[in-house]
Structure 1
């Protein structure tokens, strides 16, 4: 709009686009940050996928993803 002679603040354009559900075009290639699995051997399943403990504080599970 500034190129067409209308002085408009950037935040005003952002607000109007958000209200209309519009998004800007992102140029360039998408950055790939992870490689699909299959290259590395998985860690052994030490709890045999039994995630129910018979008594409290016996089976601990963590997720590192």
Structure 2
């Protein structure tokens, strides 16, 4: 169980690092992207979210075998 929490904390940390890099490197672009997201159709956002989940699960499966 300790390995699970280590992996979870590592994953959350990496997400925060990557997202933080985007905001630090290109704050104006991130602001524009958020504005576009606010104006997007909710169905499109759901599909994009489902695709992201699928890709994420596939990558975890690939890495963990």
TM over 0.5: no
By percentage of residues, which structure has more helix? 2
- TM-score normalised by the chain length of structure 2: 0.25
- TM-score normalised by the chain length of structure 1: 0.25
Larger Rg: 1
